[in-house]
Structure formats: C-alpha cells, structure tokens
A and B are shown apart, each in its own frame.
Chain A
Amino acid sequence: MMRLPKFEYRAARSVEEALAWLAEYAPAVDKDPEARAMLMAGGTDILPNMKHKVFTPKLVIGLRTVAALRGISYDPERGLRLGAGVRLSEIETSPIVQQRYPALAAAAATISTPQLRQMGTVGGNLCLDTRCNYYNQSEFWRGAREFCLKKGSEICRVAPNGTGCYAVSSCDTAPALIAFGATVRLAGRDGARATPVAALYADDGIHPVKLHDGALLTEIALPPLAGDWRSTYVKYRVRGAFDFPIASVAAVARFDGDLCAEARVTLQGVAPAPLPLPEAEALLRGQRWTPELIEAAAEVAYRAAHPMDNTSGTIALRKRIIRSYTRQALATLAAGPATTAATQAS
C-alpha cells in the first residue's frame, strides 16, 4: 500500500494568500527543489502523484476555499469566462459551453471518470503534469533501476540517445482551448497578466507548464464566437473511462457558406505539449472542405505526430489513430453547423 508522504496543508481563502504562501517557500526551493509548496484544486492528480512520491511538496495549498476561482459567465461581447476552480463536470454540463464551445464540453466529458470530474477542475487540468510510464510509477519501481531524466537522472528511459524528456501532455481541455484561441490569466506577486493557452506550454516534458515565479492560474477566457463556428474533440484512449488521452484531436473552424474562413487543429497525447498544426490549418483555410482536402490535412497530422513508447497503446497505433480521428473530426465539421459531442474509442 502506498501512503501519502508527510506534508503540511493550508487552505487558502484568497488568491493573495495562496501567492504569499507560495512565495514563502520560494527561497527554500533554490536549495532543495523538493522543498516546495504545491497548489491543490480538485486533488485528483496531485494526491496519486504524491503517493508515488513523484511529488513530495512540503506544503500543499488548498484552493477549494478560494471563492474568486469559481464561476462560469458568458457575455456576447466578451465571450466565456471560466474560473480556474470550475469543476470539469460543470463545464461538461454547462448549456452555454455545450452550445457555443462544444469541443470544450466534449473534452471535459472525456476526462477520467464521472466521479473524478466531480472533483477535478479546469485549472488543475490545464496545469496537469506530463505523463510517462517510466515516471508515473511507485518510488520502489523507479528506484529499482536508475531514476529517469524527469526525476533528476542523466538518461531518459524512453529515448536514451535523446536530449530531452518525452513525457506526454495529457490534459484534454488544453487542445480544445488552444483551438478556440483561449487565454489564461496568471496572478503573480507583482500583478496579473494574460497569456494565450498555447503559450502556457513548453515542449519540455520536465517543465511542461510555464508558471514562472510562483504564479497562479486564476481564469480562462474564451473569445466570443460570432458567425458559423463549428468545433469538435475526438479522443482515443484504451478504455471508455479512467484513461488519459494517447492520441486526440481538437478541431475548430468558422465557415462562410461553403468555404472555411478560419481553421484550427490541435493534437494531444503525442508530445510533451499540445501540438497545433499550422500547416493543416493553412491547407484548410479559405477552402471548401472536399474529402480530398480533409484527407490531405489528416496526412499532415499523421506526419506531424511523433509519439514515443511511453504510454499505453503503441507508436504505430497512435499515429494511425491521429490520421483517422483528424479525418473524422474535420468531416464532422464539414457536415454542417450542428456540432457534435465527442466520440471515443472502444
């Protein structure tokens, strides 16, 4: 049985309090990276990672008590605003999200299990650590051989000849939010700033989420979508519950009659960061989406995806899925304005 390591827990009552506590621990982190404070929203990922001793924070700061992180609001001029502490189940069932941003509702609906979506939050999902089956293991297992690159060793077990860490970005809401052109609000000790969701991620499995200087993600903003916008999210995982994405596609497009005015395609589960496909987007923009064009875009996705052998499924299967699901997602959008919810494998 794996138990939680010892840690101190404090429930923050405000964003400022959480930031102050993070700052309190910042000097210690310079000396010992393990001696840090971590934020906990739903706790569905941090706690299992702590049991595996992948995370060993000295202080856990609870965010559930911060009222400012709650709430979904929509304004036709300003778009959708989601508090970072909004639960995934709230997003999945929100009528406004389902109607205007169906790819986001679909992405939220495919995360883990109904029970965990009742606890997990959208902010927590965006800040999810990358995953790898050499990394998400018990300390005993990891210690049986040398630890991996992400845990301070010299060598990546997945690509011993490589130079980086290939742990996989596994949050479902990020590709959908990137495709919608969403931004996040980051509160720091010296004020708040907004940044595109895409800019939140580094193509680096070790430090995948760029929250510098102890910043706290407080809010997600999606632009208002005027016109014929269509969107969908198609996720592959081995089972219909629990499993993280190992190959998925978010597609968002605006149509002007028969022609596509804007197109965004983002892959997930195949790299250390969500993978936008500008080449496919350029191919689709300004065009009528014929089966041939959709096929060409699916081929671009197939070539762009370079998964590694560090999740369930195999490299070959995940590449095939990316091509098939990209085609499926684009065909769904081309079929008409009635956007559909997510489909998923077996």
Chain B
Amino acid sequence: AALETPVERLSAADGWIADSDDPDHRISFVKAAQRAEAAHGTLSAVGSYTPPNLGGKFKGAGVGVSPAYSYTACVAEVRVDPETYDLKVERLWVAHDCGRALNPVLVEGQIEGSAYMGFGEAVLEEQVFRKGLHKIPSLLEYKLPTIYDTPEIIAMSVETIDREGPYGAKEAGEGPLNPIIPAIANAVYAASHARVESTPITPDKIQRALREAARATTATTPQPERPEQPERKVASR
C-alpha cells in the first residue's frame, strides 16, 4: 500500500523508503519503484553540468583542460634472461587516484584491465607488414596476452575527494593505462641496461639495444666487431 506520507518527510535508507517521523512506516525501495513506474512510466531525470571557466587567454590555453585530472603510478617487476633476452613481467603495482571510488571493486577492475592492456602493448601486441601484406592477420598470431602470461597485478585506488566531480569522483576509465608501458620499459632498463624505445619490447630489441650500447661505449677504442649471431642459412637442406 502507498505510504500516504508528505514527500518532505520521506527518507531512503537500507533499501527502504520510510517516514522520517515514523521509521516503521515504510515500503521497500523495489516496491516503491515498481509503483512509481506503474503510475508514471519510466523514471528519469534530466540534469546538466557546466564546468568552471578553465584555461587562460594565451595561445593553446584551451588544449586538454579539464576540471579534474586523475593520476596513476606504476611499479613493474621484470625478469630478463641474460642469454635469450626473453622478457617476463612478474608483477605490476598500480596506484590510481580516481577521486572518490564510487564502486571500489569496479575501480579495481578498471585498474586491472588497464594494466593488462598496457602489458599486452608493452610486450606482445604488434602489427607487422611484410612486402605490403599484413604478416599476422589473425588472433592466433596477434598475441593478446592469455591468463598464463598476464603478470600479477596489485591494484590500489587512492581516493582524493574532488570538488567538481559527482560525489567527489574523477575517473577510472583508461587513465591507469598511461604509466604501465613506461614502467615496464624502465624496469627492463633497470634489469638489463637495455633502453628499448619502441613497443613491443621484444627479446631481439633488447639484444639490439645492448649491442648498440656496447658499441657506443667502445667507440673511442676501436675493437673488432662482434659477429652478428646467428648466420641465417637459406636453403641449406
């Protein structure tokens, strides 16, 4: 039955709509919503938000302004095999400032998704063209990481209550993606001294970077060049 209570006395809590003066006089939120929809059709509301005046008067001041910015920090732990240069990303710690976490579990999921995406881009995924044709136009050869490849991800949300955002929230879209790739690249450098400047960071790129670095340091005292290994044999069988 309807509550027959003046609107200004109604309060909502714990899944109930109740009379503030007499909390036992109540109906469940679901029932209330059903009755309201039966009487008025789909419940909807229209609102709008105008961000504060941002930017300055100088040239370029209108680029990339936003009332709120998210921030993310990532620490990557990697292992580089000194012989094969095979790269394994063991763990990613990702701390994301999302404003208020309206749904902490979803925020964590968004952070994990971003870390996975960044890891795939950093280490595996690649478009290769060979003589005008896509070399690997299939999902077998375009290497999306599987659950066996994905590093352990430690996701942390850092809540800063934003003045502008809804209930203090900012974002947990793909913001956490940003630091993943540079963190992995820097960890590869810390582990192997190989500075790889393009993705994906493959074993061969690590080897090439190390070879170039060795060449640069010995440039002042010329030494016999290391033979390129291995020889590529064609049609020897």
Q: Which of B175-205 contact A (CB under 8 A)?
A: 202-204
Which B residues contact A (CB, under 8 angstroms)? 81, 83-88, 123-124, 131, 133-138, 140-141, 143, 145-149, 202-204, 207, 229-230, 232-237
Residues of the A chain whose Cβ atoms lie less than 8 Å from the Cβ of B136:
133, 312
Shortest beta-carbon distance, A267 to chain B, in Å?
14
Annotate A118-141 by CB proximity to B: 1 below 8 A, 0 otherwise.
Answer: 000000000000000100111001
Residues of the A chain whose Cβ atoms lie less than 8 Å from the Cβ of B149:
239-240, 346
Q: Which residue of A lies closest to B139 (CB)?
A: A242
With known contacts A137-B137, A145-B133, A320–B145 Cβ distance under 8 A: no
**Can you list 16 A-B pairs, Cβ within 8 angstroms, ordered by A?**
A138-B137, A141-B134, A144-B133, A162-B234, A163-B235, A203-B237, A239-B143, A240-B148, A243-B143, A306-B236, A317-B202, A320-B85, A320-B203, A324-B84, A346-B86, A346-B88
Q: Which residue of A lies closest to B230 (CB)?
A: A319
Q: Give bound CA distance, A159 to B204, whole Å.
A: 22
Report the count of interface residues on A (CB-CB < 8 A): 36
Tell me whether B83 and A323 are in contact (CB under 8 A).
yes
Shortest beta-carbon distance, B93 to chain A, in Å?
20
With known contacts A306-B233, A306-B237, A315-B232, A239–B145 Cβ distance under 8 A: yes
Cβ-neighbour of A164 out of B87, B203, B237 (below 8 A)? B237
Q: Which residue of A lies closest to B79 (CB)?
A: A346
With known contacts A164-B235, A316-B230, A346-B149, A238–B143 Cβ distance under 8 A: yes
Most chain B CB within a 10 A radius of its CB, from A166, A203, A238, A324: A238
Does A161 reach chain B (CB closer than 8 Å)? Answer: yes
Tell me whether A241 and B146 are in contact (CB under 8 A).
yes
Q: Which residue of B lies closest to A52 (CB)?
A: B138
Q: Which residue of A lies closest to B88 (CB)?
A: A346
Cβ-neighbour of A345 out of B86, B147, B207 (below 8 A)? B86
Q: Which residue of A lies closest to B134 (CB)?
A: A141
Q: Give bound CA distance, A312 to B203, whole Å.
A: 12
Residues of the A chain whose Cβ atoms lie less than 8 Å from the Cβ of B232:
315
Tell me whether A316 and B137 are in contact (CB under 8 A).
no
Q: Give bound CA distance, A324 to B140, whole Å.
A: 26
Label chain B's interface by main secondary structure: loop
Residues of the B chain whose Cβ atoms lie less than 8 Å from the Cβ of A346:
86-88, 123, 149
With known contacts A159-B235, A317-B204, A239–B146 Cβ distance under 8 A: yes
Tell me whether B204 and A133 are in contact (CB under 8 A).
no
Apart from A239-B145, A315-B232, A324-B84: 12 A-B pairs, beta carbons within 8 A: A133-B141, A137-B138, A161-B234, A239-B149, A312-B136, A314-B204, A315-B230, A319-B229, A345-B86, A346-B87, A346-B88, A346-B149
Q: Give bound CA distance, A330 to B86, whole Å.
A: 20
Q: Give bound CA distance, A133 to B135, whole Å.
A: 7
Q: Give bound CA distance, A317 to B135, whole Å.
A: 18
Does A321 reach chain B (CB closer than 8 Å)? Answer: yes
Residues of the B chain whose Cβ atoms lie less than 8 Å from the Cβ of A345:
86, 88
Tell me whether A238 and B124 are in contact (CB under 8 A).
yes
Shortest beta-carbon distance, B95 to chain A, in Å?
25
Cβ-neighbour of A141 out of B85, B137, B202 (below 8 A)? B137
Q: Which of A236-256 contact B (CB under 8 A)?
A: 238-243
Cβ-neighbour of A239 out of B87, B124, B235 (below 8 A)? B124
Q: Which residue of A lies closest to B146 (CB)?
A: A241
Tell me whether A141 and B133 are in contact (CB under 8 A).
yes
Q: Which residue of B lies closest to A309 (CB)?
A: B232
Q: Which residue of A lies closest to B136 (CB)?
A: A133
Cβ-neighbour of A316 out of B135, B204, B235, B237 (below 8 A)? B204
A-B pairs with the 7 shortest C-beta distances? A240-B148, A162-B235, A241-B146, A320-B84, A319-B230, A306-B233, A324-B84
Residues of the A chain whose Cβ atoms lie less than 8 Å from the Cβ of B148:
239-241
Shortest beta-carbon distance, B229 to chain A, in Å?
7
Q: Which residue of B lies closest to A312 (CB)?
A: B141
Residues of the B chain whose Cβ atoms lie less than 8 Å from the Cβ of A323:
83
Shortest beta-carbon distance, A168 to chain B, in Å?
13
Q: Give bound CA distance, A333 to B191, whole Å.
A: 30
Residues of the B chain whose Cβ atoms lie less than 8 Å from the Cβ of A240:
146-149
Residues of the A chain whose Cβ atoms lie less than 8 Å from the Cβ of B233:
306
Residues of the B chain whose Cβ atoms lie less than 8 Å from the Cβ of A166:
237
Q: Give bound CA distance, A203 to B236, whole Å.
A: 12
Q: Give bound CA distance, A206 to B86, whole Å.
A: 31
Residues of the A chain whose Cβ atoms lie less than 8 Å from the Cβ of B147:
240-241
Q: Give bound CA distance, A51 to B85, whole Å.
A: 36
With known contacts A306-B237, A315-B230, A316-B230, A242–B140 Cβ distance under 8 A: yes
Most chain B CB within a 10 A radius of its CB, from A137, A306, A319, A346: A346
Q: Which residue of A lies closest to B208 (CB)?
A: A316
Residues of the B chain whose Cβ atoms lie less than 8 Å from the Cβ of A136:
140
Residues of the B chain whose Cβ atoms lie less than 8 Å from the Cβ of A141:
133-134, 137
Q: Give bound CA distance, A323 to B83, whole Å.
A: 9
